[in-house]
Amino acid sequence: MPAMSTILAIETSCDETSAAVISAGPTRRSNVVASQIDLHAQYGGVYPELASRAHAESISAVAAQAMTEADIDYADLDALAVTQGPGLVGSLLVGINFAKGLALATGLPLLGINHLEGHIYSLWLTPEFDRPDFPLLALIVSGGHSELVLMTAHGVYQRLGGTIDDAAGEAFDKVGRLLGLPFPGGPAIEAAAQDGNASAYRFPRAKTDGAYDLSFSGLKTAVMRAVTVQPSGRRNQRRRGEERIAELRDDVKIADVAAAFQDALTDALVAATRRAARDFAVQAVLLTGGVSANTLLRRKLGAALDLPLYCPPLSLCTDNAAMIGAAAYFRLRTGFRSPLDFEARPSWRLSEDVYADGLSQV
Ligand code: KG4
Ligand code: ZN
């Protein structure tokens, strides 16, 4: 086995506590994900305070399980990796402090990895991915991010654009909640849309100033206007937690709204991605992040591009530590290590100098 290739990776940036072991290739030897969906579903969204507490409760057991499933000891590891950002600061800190503790105890080098880079590297764990030449275009669409990133070499990125307000997954989750569907909204809207007529409503496909920027808050508002009783008093509102939830009109067909919303949102993603793919003459497009699980998005994007489109399997679309380990695998080979006093970076963007402050070269 080549030197410096076995990595234990930790991911706690949002609402999944995950640990994975990655070996040469990179290949996945284990990828344990403890989801908090049930915990947050009762609130209709991720509750940061509860998320960090749940991470703290399960991180040790999740990491131990990842080691057991990979059938290795700490002595077999060459490095540790952890998500340094972006994400919820309290959640990130649980993973970072756990990883720093392990680094101190074992003497292993530790790499703080950018979560968005991890989403991109989920493709390098995907069997169908034949590693096309650069440049590549990545569309990262999740609950927290909607980013179009040009990748010109391993670890070299240019952020072309992204959402100027809500992330794509956030829009799915908010509209899902508005329609009374369970959390997370993405899979629930996708399922509801199957019986719906997407032309029953015509929701806006937002234009933005930036050629590759996206905006979904207007779409969300348009859905709200179309389906709710206009506020004429308290009678039309019920409360859930601190938030007011508008009353749906009697004649609303949830399936039609879901289908029309999904159609509008995916159209916007496809248009920006196709534009960027043409302008930068990329070799292939990588679609990653939780929203990339959406079948309509995959289908439309595949049809709109005259290039290969690669998507990870579902288990690698949503947050997981294996993708962090895969990104670390390539970082490690370039000689990068994080100083042990590195801090969480909750709003860390993926750009050319992504590791300029985060990592020191040894
Ligand atoms: O990548 P992820 O697990 O976590 C973040 O980094 O945010 O993505 C979660 C997001 C949620 O907003 C969820 O509604 C969305 O991905 N999602 C979907 C689908 N499955 C998950 N959105 C649309 N269609 C789906 N099938
Ligand atoms: Zn993510």
Q: Which numbered atom of ligand 1 lies nearest the CA of 173?
A: 14
Answer whether residue 195 shows pLDDT above 50: yes
Burial string for 58-71 (b: 16+ CB within 10 Å, else e) reads: bbeebbeebbeebe
Predicted TM-score (pTM) of the model is 0.91
What band does 242 get if pLDDT is binned at 50, 70 and 90? very low
Only one residue has tokens 């991911």, namely: 11
**How far away, in angstroms, is 290 Cα from ligand 1 center?**
3
The pLDDT of residue 49 is 81
User: Model confidence over 293-325: pLDDT tens digits?
Assistant: 999 999 999 999 999 999 999 999 999 999 999
Answer whether residue 241 shows pLDDT above 60: no
Q: How many angstroms separate the CA atoms of 257 and 24, rounded?
A: 46
Q: What is the residue extent of each domain of the chain?
A: 7-125+316-361, 136-311
Strands 16-23 and 7-11, how do they pair?
antiparallel
Q: Which numbered atom of ligand 1 lies nearest the CA of 289?
A: 1
Only one residue has tokens 């959402």, namely: 163
- What CATH number was assigned to the domain covering residues 7-125+316-361? 3.30.420.40
User: Model confidence over 128-144: pLDDT tens digits?
Assistant: 999 999 999 999 999 99
**How far away, in angstroms, is 199 Cα from ligand 2 center?**
31
Q: How many angstroms separate the CA atoms of 52 and 20, rounded?
A: 19
Pocket test for ligand 1, best of 318, 320, 347 (most atoms within 8 A of CB): 318
Non-local CB neighbours of 144 within 8 Å, separated by 6+ positions:
14, 86, 87, 167, 169, 170
**How far away, in angstroms, is 184 Cα from ligand 1 center?**
7
The pLDDT of residue 236 is 47
Mean pLDDT, the chain, integer: 91
Instruction: Kindly write down the DSSP assignment for every residue of 300-314, as one continuous string.
Output: HHHHH-SS-EE---H
**245: its two tokens:** 């939830």
Q: How many angstroms separate the CA atoms of 324 and 19, rounded?
A: 9
Residue nearest to atom 10 of ligand 1 (CA): 143
- CATH classification of 136-311 is 3.30.420.40, yes or no? yes
Maximal CA-CA distance, the chain: 69
Q: How many angstroms separate the CA atoms of 29 and 72, rounded?
A: 10
**How far away, in angstroms, is 250 Cα from ligand 2 center?**
36
**How far away, in angstroms, is 109 Cα from ligand 1 center?**
32
Only one residue has tokens 């019986």, namely: 195
> If you compute the radius of gyration of the chain from its CA atoms, what whole number of angstroms results?
21
Lowest mean pLDDT, pick from 103-117, 195-209, 223-237, 246-260: 223-237
Q: How many angstroms separate the CA atoms of 237 and 164, rounded?
A: 29
Answer whether residue 227 shows pLDDT above 60: yes
Question: Where does residue 285 rank: exposed (0-12), middle (13-18), buried (19+ CB within 10 A)?
Answer: buried
Pocket test for ligand 1, best of 35, 142, 183 (most atoms within 8 A of CB): 142
| Common-topology check for domains 7-125+316-361 and 136-311 | yes
The pLDDT of residue 355 is 81
- Residue 302's φ and ψ, nearest 5 degrees, are -60, -40
